[in-house]
Amino acid sequence: MATVSLRKLTKRYGTVGIVHGIDLDIADREFIALVGPSGCGKSTTLRMIAGLEEISAGSIEIGGRIVNDLPPRSRNISMVFQSYALYPHMTVRENLGFSLKIAGAAKGDMDRRVAEASAILGLDTLLDRRPSQLSGGQRQRVAMGRAIVRDPDVFLFDEPLSNLDAKLRTQMRTEIKKLHAKVQSTVIYVTHDQVEAMTLADRIVIMRDGHIEQVGTPDEVFRRPATRFVAGFIGSPPMNLHEATIDGGQMVFASGEKLPLPGQFKSNVATGDKVVFGLRPDDIYPTGHGISSGGAADVHQIELPITVTEPLGNETLVFVEFNGTDWVSRMLNPRPLRPGERVAMSLDMSQAHLFATETGKTLRS
């Protein structure tokens, strides 16, 4: 059990910077997800914490101890790799017990801890198999078992589910969550899948181009994205984002279409400001078919043509044309709609977001 602190953590390969001095404090027993598009430096950050990658500048503290130059084995961490990295020449039992063997644990102690870990993960019947005889989900479980057996201060997960099919991924996601509840360790979890990050993590760190864009609880990053990038990255389907220019109490879009300026931003912008207007699919809906929790006072009505509909059973994603592009909206208790049909849409402006076009930062005060 330990806290983890990153101070001005930097990674450069020659002159190419990968991670640009990030600061992050992770509490004991916290489940942190590092999320971002590929190449954002999240895996490099994880590998630096693990000690597999040298740091170029800054420092890493685990449990109050600076570990900058310590080899991986001295950091008391364990890691689950995307590829699982099971030792193919060893049985599941040997894979699980490998770290204990290296540490010179007594045979009885080793057997007991392997048995404990395999009980947690339901690997009892597989102990004498080799990795090549296991399915993807089973391999994944062995990889997690190997991490548990070490009883580490910090668990590191490097995109552990991305090699599994969609169904198994959902299932393993739940298992990881249960596991964290059981072992109560600090977890740092790298993923490019924002759904995984949202469902698993206590706090999410959104990274982009080697910088941290925002750190917050899933609710915070969803409801109060600090930047345009976070707004577009978190949420599925993603937030609708459109550039506009402020003109008095209105936003004027490139196509000439206009929307009223959301009340909460009125004091933060002036005429002529370039902004990005964002609205989640949940906050746009054919009138009478929405879930938006906003006060009814700030709902704007507009009639828009339908381009495509995607029925999902209890809801339908309705694509409407606005400002020359498709706008995604979520329709509850769907009724049949035809492409081309013009429908009255409700926009819950109290839930709208505005970002400065230039900096990408939120204009919320």
Q: Which residue has the tokens 């078919």?
A: 289
Residue 75 makes CB contacts below 8 A (sequence gap 6+) with 50, 51, 62, 67, 153, 154
Q: Is the peptide bond before 237 cis (omega within 30 degrees of 0)?
A: yes
Of 64 and 71, CB closest to other proteins:
71
Taking the complex as a whole, the smallest distance from the CB of residue 14 to other proteins amounts, in Å, to 11
Of 74 and 271, CB closest to other proteins:
74
Taking the complex as a whole, the smallest distance from the CB of residue 193 to other proteins amounts, in Å, to 16
Q: What is the largest CA-CA distance in the chain?
A: 77
Q: CA 235 to CA 242: how far, in whole Å?
A: 16
Of 138 and 329, CB closest to other proteins:
138
Instruction: Note whether 185 and 155 are within 8 A (CB).
Output: yes
Q: How many CA atoms lie within 13 A of 342 on its CB side?
A: 5
Helix (H, G, I), strand (E, B) or coil at 263: helix
Taking the complex as a whole, the smallest distance from the CB of residue 161 to other proteins amounts, in Å, to 12
Which CA distances in Å does 97 have to 73, 81, 114, 274?
15, 17, 6, 59
Taking the complex as a whole, the smallest distance from the CB of residue 166 to other proteins amounts, in Å, to 16
Of 171 and 333, CB closest to other proteins:
171
User: Can you give the binding site for other proteins, defined by CB under 8 A?
Assistant: 50-52, 71-73, 77-79, 81-89, 98-99, 102-103, 130-134, 136, 139, 146, 150, 163
Taking the complex as a whole, the smallest distance from the CB of residue 137 to other proteins amounts, in Å, to 12
Helix (H, G, I), strand (E, B) or coil at 207: strand
Output the six-digit token pair for 323: 């400002």
Taking the complex as a whole, the smallest distance from the CB of residue 82 to other proteins amounts, in Å, to 8
